[in-house]
Amino acid sequence: MLINLKVRNLLVAAATLVVLPVAAQQNAPADSTIIRKIYDNALTSYDSYNNLRFLTKNIGGRLAGSPQAAAAVEWSRQVMDTMGLDRVYVQEVMVPHWVRGDKEVGQIYNSKERGAVEVPICALGGSVGTGKQGLSAEVVEVKSFEELEKLGKKNVKGKIVFFNRPFDNTLIYTMDAYSGAVDQRGGGPVAAAKLGAVGVIVRSMASELQDVPHTGGTRYKEDVTKIPAAAISTNGAELLSSLLKNDPKLKFHMRMTCETLPDVKSYNVIGEIKGSEKPDEIIVVGGHLDSWDLAEGAHDDGTGCVQSIEVLRLIKDLGIKPKRTIRAVMFMNEENGLRGGTKYAELAKQNNETHVAAIESDAGGFTPRGFEVEGTDAQLAKVAAWKPLLAPYGLRDFGHGHGGADIGPLKGQKNVTLIGYMPDSQRYFDYHHTPIDVFENVNRREMQLGAAGMASLVYLISQHGL
């Protein structure tokens, strides 16, 4: 690309002068000016990016209950302690403590039990282990729970069930493809165990053909035998599927030493700027501090955490005195329990707090697309009324959708509006829950545009309510 025009500069400049509708009536020019300042500051600052570097590189994977999760709690408290906030505190919460153990082994043996092909697998979070000897069994491949049911006990008993329904890549938003496949990971082990299976292999929740397996939580039921469950890389799934076609009696060997230890004490970490006029009306902005153990947890959800801290930094640095109280919340244990989000909502109710809005960033640090409102048409309309102020910065999509897992338990409390920050989704499931969800795959500008968008919305709500 050789040359270019300056047309867009003018467009953005013009947008700051635009006549604004509805919710932005009170003091429109000031709002657009302040939002411009928020972006100017965010796009030229490296604070948040350096925070992400520390969290991912110096602390790393931080599954709830792990020493790294404890380090992340202490780190985020220290970071916010230095920011001159009105209050920094923690909320104690007991969290599950699952450990992966040795690196998992996955091998395909042909039916003559000669040779073995290694394939990349990893235990699903919460899975029981196989014992040190591992587990070998024939494999039955299915694409759906219906197919599994049809096979019935006689075809499933004593075997490993291989759930191999891929992402529907024709869907534009990869979150939808994930939604259409993730039931296999969550519900596979129970469904398979009910029919007498001895193990489960699930095709990784990934958009592309890759060698890296994607971990993620699975669920057991107390009255159903807990069988070991692993994710296999998408390339591994393709290989296993093609080998099965020619050799249906092949055997799969899996070895996992993962186990669940007793619950551990951990914390949500909260930083707060008190509202100057309506301190009892609270706006939450947050992400989850825990990540899977295999990952650095950069996009999931390091970026959501440092963006939330960045919202407070931007408000402070620009000398904004918000009318309502703003809280950045680092939730603990989103990935395998949601104990932090649940505890936060419990305490909010117990303390009779009023939450005006809760905004979560847990879809990666990618370039902004918009905000999703999990609520009524009226709630969406109020948020979307600010679109003219935010669209010049790439926030064009306002619709009904998902707020966020951690803020979900707040639903129904005194008309709180749940809002999900939605970045572009295309790359998310290349990295999600894998060792390649690393700092290097986060772009500073993309992440900061998100932080500035979140700060702008928080600012607008803090001044005008919702």
Catalog residues that contact a second copy under the rule CB under 8 A.
1-9, 11-12, 39-40, 43-44, 169-176, 178-180, 182, 207-208, 217, 300-301, 334-335, 338, 362-364, 367, 369, 372, 392-394, 396-397, 399-402, 405, 424, 426-428, 430, 432, 443-446, 449
Give the residue with the Cβ less far from a second copy, 17 or 351: 17
Instruction: State the minimum distance, in angstroms, from the CB of residue 34 to a second copy.
Output: 14
Task: Identify which of 429, 415, 422, 368 has the alpha carbon closest to the alpha carbon of residue 400.
Answer: 422
**Which residues in 321-414 belong to E strands, given as ranges?**
324-331, 354-360, 368-374, 397-400
Instruction: State in angstroms the smallest separation of the CB of 374 from a second copy.
Output: 8
**Cβ closer to a second copy: 282 or 320?**
320
Give residues with Cβ within 8 angstroms of 8, minimum separation 6: none
Q: Pick between residue 61 and residue 199 the one whose CB is nearest to a second copy.
A: 61
What's the 3-state SS for 178-220?
HHCCCHHHHHHHHHHHHCCCCEEEEECCCCCCCCCCCCCECCC
Give the torsion sign (CA, 325, 273, 372, 292).
negative
Catalytic pick from 334, 335, 374, 446? Answer: 334
**Pick 68 or 210: Cβ nearer a second copy:** 210
Between 236 and 392, whose beta carbon lies closer to a second copy? 392
DSSP 403-419: --TTTGGGTTSTTPEEE
Closest approach, Cβ 207 to a second copy, in A, equals 6
Residue 4 CB, shortest distance to a second copy, in Å, is 4
Question: Cβ distance 81 to 312 under 8 Å?
Answer: no
Residue 134 or 401: which CB sits closer to a second copy?
401
Tell me the β-bridge partners of 230.
Answer: 123, 201
Q: Report the C-alpha gap between 302 and 318 in whole angstroms.
A: 24
Structure tokens at 32: 């657009």
In the bound complex, what is the minimum distance in angstroms from residue 169's beta carbon to a second copy? Answer: 5
**What is the per-residue DSSP string for 149-176?**
HHHHHHHHTTSEEEE-PPP-TT-SSHHH
Beta bridge partners of 267: 92
* Other beta carbons within 10 Å of 205: 24
The b-or-e profile of 278-289 (16+ CB within 10 A means b, else e) is eeebbbbbbbbb
What's the token pair of residue 190?
Answer: 């129970």
Is the CB of 219 or the CB of 278 nearer to a second copy?
A: 219
Please state the closest distance from residue 341 (CB atom) to a second copy, in A.
Answer: 10
Shortest distance in whole angstroms from residue 449 CB to a second copy: 7
CA distance 205 to 181: 7
Is 334 an active-site residue? yes
**Tokens describing residue 255:** 């070895």
Contact 283, 462 (CB under 8 A): yes
Catalytic residues: 334
